[in-house]
Amino acid sequence: MKFIKYKQVARITLYGFDDLYRDNDSSIFTDVLKSEYYTNNLNAGVQVGKNAKRLRFQIKGLDNVKLSENARLCMESINVPMLYDGNNNFKSLGLTIVRMSNLSSLNCFDSQGNGQTDPVIFTGQTQITQQKIGTISTNGSLQNFSPSPVFYNPYPEMLYNFPISSNFLNNRYIDLTITLQFTAGDFIDLTNDQEYFDLFHISFIVYDLDEEELLLTSTQDVDFKKFGETLPRKINNLR
């Protein structure tokens, strides 16, 4: 008799400043949404700017890790930063969607992609908490914004857990897409926004099956036919 459990075989951590598309304007594009933030962000009826960015990370040193057909990729943590304008006011707002292209073989569906896009691995709301502080010398008001919270997977065995192929670690690259929403007139401008994308990070754990034999596997099977009835018989002649 066997029991099956998952064992960790690799850990992958990716930082925004290592994005191979860093400062690359061709990595940003328009991802059409039906939200109020998106549909109202227009100029003469034309969508203002671009609201999505592709990120690519190179994976090295894991080619020798062997995986079975039952391996899984679990998102352990993620931080999607807010974007700010030149006045230090937040401009990204609302729902954020993160997709991963390396999971294209996964059966999944989301209403925004309508089954035609890469799988969604994370969705979160933008944090908009602000704190204003003043200085005595200038009597001015400076804005000190709270950073976007880091999300930690509370149940890695079940949540944000995706099946992967046995050659997943041989892909050499992990490709992600971040779709943001913006207040009116704002969009992604890497000239000013790259410093915020540098704050992005995500970590994964790669699991694989670990089969182990239970104790007493050498004992013979029990033939229950050799045993008599175990329920008490009815006794009629009680005195």
Comparing 69-78, 89-98, 108-117, 193-202, the range with the smallest average pLDDT is 108-117
171 torsion bin: left (phi>0), alpha (psi -120 to 50), beta (else): alpha
Top-confidence residue, 151 or 6? 151
Amino acid identity at 110: D
Confidence category of residue 130, pLDDT binned at 50, 70, 90: very low
Confidence category of residue 104, pLDDT binned at 50, 70, 90: low
Please report, for the chain, the start and end positions of each structural domain, with discontinuous segments joined by +.
2-214
The rounded distance, in Å, linking the Cα atoms of 135 and 28 is 38
Percent of the chain with pLDDT over 70: 74
pLDDT confidence of residue 132: 42
Confidence category of residue 4, pLDDT binned at 50, 70, 90: low
- Tens of pLDDT, residues 210-219: 665 544 455 4
* Candidate ranges 113-122, 149-158, 198-207; pick with highest mean pLDDT: 198-207
- Tens of pLDDT, residues 73-87: 999 999 998 888 877
- Tens of pLDDT, residues 12-61: 999 999 999 999 999 999 998 888 888 888 776 777 789 999 999 999 98
Top-confidence residue, 113 or 126? 113
